[in-house]
Structure 1
Amino acid sequence: MTTPDSDGLLAEQLLRLTRRVHRIQKRHLQQSGLGVTPAQSRLLRTLAHCDAPPRMADLAARLEVVPRAVTTLVDGLEASGKVRRAPDPTNRRVIRIELTDDGRAALRELQGAKRSAAEEILDPLTDLERQVLSGLLDALVGVGDPAEPGRGAPHAERPPGPNC
């Protein structure tokens, strides 16, 4: 039986783990030398899962941020050659965001940095403990929960939607 105190302790442990994961991922990103921020990394991963180049508004909705934040992220990634703005072929007023070859290469390096960070975090755990943790995390993030789009398969990024 859980108590409010034990639930509070679990919540605090989860928050501390989340902060640790972010710190380690940020360090690995910095060590990669790509000059990509965690937010830019997330945008690149999102672009990689799109069926077709999305509009800025689609990216903002997908990332759950305001459109201005996406503009800032795209500006930085475009300046470094990782994405490009392209006019929509059916509506010249619409701008789409495309991943470049440099962006795809950066994604491969970022995935390596992400794996290294995960290995560092999970290193103290046995294989069995990792399996148990995976099952527990799946239960907590709402696998199969219709309120969590794209959470139908464990350990997967969100699948592409109609626009992205």
Structure 2
Amino acid sequence: MTTPDPDEPLAEQLLRLTRRVHRIQKRHLQQLALGITPAQSRLLRTLAHYESPPRMADLAERLEVVPRAVTTLVDGLEASGRVRRVPDPSNRRVIRIELTADGREALREVHGARRSAAEEILGPLTDQQREALGGLLDTLVDGAPDRAC
């Protein structure tokens, strides 16, 4: 007989919240009618954090996905004119990915949709509860190192 895990209800709540956040963010993205998936949105946001255009391998590492997944995302975003592949100036065999003007505009709209989704999710909380939740989330995200499974 196994003993019940006292953290199981909390783990289930976190999983339900994660699913709710994804669902609400996806709905807000769809309302923009940009034709951007949540995964493409994440790639655009990640690209914006680089000072110079990254390689596909850099994006795959940062996004914690296989390189093929990045290729698929870039293909879709390139077809819509939001990113472009450019040769590396120091090694023309290396391809880098950069945001286009359309990509930067889409990113602005995506940020707005994410803010709206966050407001919908956090709406029931008071300012004090939001502050407490922020502190707790910081502790959970930054406090414990990843453990190998």
Match in the other structure for 1:72: 72
2: CA distance, partners of 1:108 / 1:48: 11
Q: Which has the higher contact order (CA 8 A, sep 6+)?
A: 1
Q: Which residue number in structure 2 is paired with residue 31 of structure 1?
A: 31
* Corresponding residue number in structure 2 for 1:98: 98
1:7 is matched with: 7
Mapped to 2, the partners of 1:9 and 1:78 lie a distance apart of 43
Q: Distance in 2 between matches of 1:130 and 1:60?
A: 32
Equivalents in 1 of 2:134, 2:124: separation in Å?
15
Query: How far is the alpha carbon of 1:51 from its aligned partner?
Result: 1.2
User: Are residue 120 (structure 1) and residue 120 (structure 2) matched?
Assistant: yes
User: Which blocks of at least 5 consecutive residues in structure 1 are unaligned?
Assistant: 148-164
| Pairs within 5 Å for 1:53-64 | 53-64=53-64
SS at match of 1:86: strand
Aligned to 1:16: 16
- Report the residue type matching 2:37 in the other structure: T
Per-residue deviation, 1:142 = 1.3
Deviation at 1:6, TM superposition (A): 3.5
Q: Deviation per CA, 1:123-148, whole angstroms, max 9, x where unpaired?
A: 000110101111111111115x676x
Higher helix residue share? 2
Aligned to 1:134: 134
Distance 2:130 2:52 in 1: 35
Counterpart of 1:42 in structure 2 is: 42
Aligned equivalents of 1:84 and 1:5: distance in 2?
Answer: 49
Give the fraction of aligned pairs with identical amino acids, expressed as a percent: 80
TM-score by length of 2: 0.92
**1:47-94 CA distance string (max 9 Å, x none):** 000011001111111111000000000000000000000011111100
Gaps of 5+ in 2: none
Distance in structure 2 (CA, Å) of the matches to 1:146 and 1:139? 11
| Aligned mates of 2:4, 2:22 — CA distance in 1 | 27
Cα distance in 1 for partners of 2:20, 2:45 equals: 21
- The normalised TM-score by structure 1 is 0.84
Structure 1 runs of 4+ with >4 Å offset: none
Counterpart residue number, 1:111: 111
CA RMSD of aligned residues (A): 1.4
Q: Distance in 2 between matches of 1:132 and 1:35?
A: 35
